[in-house]
């Protein structure tokens, strides 16, 4: 079995309030048989509902290291904890009084039952809210801080490998992302990382939840809860076009090989716009999944995320991988995204970003 490690390092300062002291968790696995000069690195980036502890990602880190001669890695990026399922539901008190009887309200007041216990015994659909408790110290920014954490994790792993004289192919860096995770790979590609290959499963063109609330349906006992997540990034991110892939890739000379999988029934992404985007990016190609393409092996639908089997999809995507160019791909220096000018300092080892 692959050798796995989980470490924590000092994270990049918070772009939004300048605070230091953040920690960044990085999990990685090395092939059982050791590494050589053909051993690449793959970074997994989950979207909403996925994280470094998800069973499927743990399995991929351990399995792919041996199966494909890869150093596999993943990090727990800024605000990711707010992107999971519901943990702290709040219910509007006026709705509670409409749903519960006087006797049931008395049970709640006497702490003999909880509101949730009583509500979930009823056959109805209730709209509730997730109490996210986000603040400037950490929130789901859906953008630059999340990308910076991924970049930091990749560069930190490279330093560890070099310091420990662990051989690897410095030109082979694969990014494998799902939904918002795939979007973040595109953002990393613009901001810093010289990826050799980006595998994009259903990246959106712009984070939807910068404009509207995220909604999850959860069934509890007899009731169904419609849970709303109202992210503060909607108010904090003023120019949302800066997080639009058309803006991000505008005038950018892309060096990475990009392969996009996109379904025709994706309710979060206009597939025609996604095709238009990919056609405007050099070295990019797409595989459009229609209903007739669903094979129930690597993808089980043509909706958002394709109900993909992540392991099978990765195996298929690798059949398209081209040999990384021998041309040295320089990391970004100062650059602009929309109306933001980024200043990049790489003189101290790990990259430091600031916005002018």
Q: How many CB atoms lie within 10 A of CB 322?
A: 10
Walk along the chain (356 residues) and give the pLDDT tens digit of each residue. 789 999 999 999 999 999 999 999 999 999 999 999 999 999 999 999 999 999 999 999 999 999 999 999 999 999 999 999 988 888 877 777 778 888 888 887 888 887 777 777 777 788 889 999 999 999 999 999 999 999 999 999 999 999 999 999 999 999 999 999 999 999 999 999 789 999 999 999 999 999 999 999 887 777 788 899 999 999 999 999 999 999 999 999 999 999 999 999 999 999 999 999 999 999 999 999 999 999 999 999 999 999 999 999 999 999 999 987 665 455 567 899 999 999 999 888 899 999 98
Among left, alpha and beta (phi > 0; psi -120 to 50; other), residue 307 is: left
How far apart (Å, rounded) are the C-alpha atoms in residues 125 and 128? 10
DSSP 278-340: HHTSTTEEEEEE-GGG--SSS-S-SSGGGG--HHHHHHHHHTTPPPPPSS--PPP-SEEETTE
Question: Could you report how far apart the first and last alpha carbons of the chain are, in Å?
Answer: 47
* Nearest residue to 268 via CA among 336, 334, 211: 211
Q: How many CB atoms lie within 10 A of CB 10?
A: 13
At 189, list the tokens.
Answer: 């590609």
Q: Rounded to 5 degrees, what are φ and ψ at 117?
A: -60, -45
Reported pTM:
0.93
């Amino acid at each position: 079995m692959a050798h796995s490690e989980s470490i924590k390092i000092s994270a990049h300062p918070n772009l939004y309030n300048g605070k230091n002291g953040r920690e960044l968790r990085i999990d990685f696995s090395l092939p059982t048989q050791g590494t050589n000069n053909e051993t690449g690195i793959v970074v997994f980036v989950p979207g909403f509902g996925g994280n470094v502890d998800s069973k499927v990602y743990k399995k991929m880190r351990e399995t792919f290291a041996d199966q494909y001669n890869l150093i596999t890695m993943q990090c727990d990026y800024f605000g990711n904890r707010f992107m999971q399922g519901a943990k702290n539901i709040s219910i509007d008190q006026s709705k509670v009084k409409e749903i519960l009887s006087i006797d049931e309200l008395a049970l709640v007041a006497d702490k003999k039952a909880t509101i949730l216990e009583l509500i979930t015994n009823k056959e109805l659909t209730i709209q509730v809210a997730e109490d996210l408790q986000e603040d400037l110290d950490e929130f789901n920014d859906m953008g630059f801080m999340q990308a910076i954490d991924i970049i930091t994790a990749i560069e930190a792993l490279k330093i560890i490998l070099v310091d420990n004289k662990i051989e690897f192919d410095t030109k082979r860096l694969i990014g494998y992302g799902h939904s918002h995770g795939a979007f973040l790979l595109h953002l990393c590609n613009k901001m810093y990382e010289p990826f050799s290959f980006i595998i994009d499963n259903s990246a959106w063109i712009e984070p939807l939840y910068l404009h509207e609330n995220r909604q999850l349906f959860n069934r509890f006992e007899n009731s169904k809860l419609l849970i709303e997540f109202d992210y503060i990034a909607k108010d904090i991110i003023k120019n949302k076009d800066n997080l639009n892939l058309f803006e991000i890739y505008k005038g950018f000379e892309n060096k990475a090989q990009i392969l996009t999988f996109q379904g025709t029934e994706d309710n979060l992404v206009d597939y025609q716009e996604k095709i238009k985007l990919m056609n405007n990016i050099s070295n990019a190609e797409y595989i459009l999944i229609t209903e007739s393409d669903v094979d129930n092996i690597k993808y089980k639908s043509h909706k958002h995320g394709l109900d993909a089997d992540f392991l099978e999809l990765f195996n298929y995507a690798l059949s398209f991988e081209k040999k990384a160019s021998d041309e040295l791909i320089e990391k970004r220096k100062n650059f602009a995204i929309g109306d933001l000018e980024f200043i990049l300092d790489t003189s101290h080892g790990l990259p430091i970003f600031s916005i002018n």
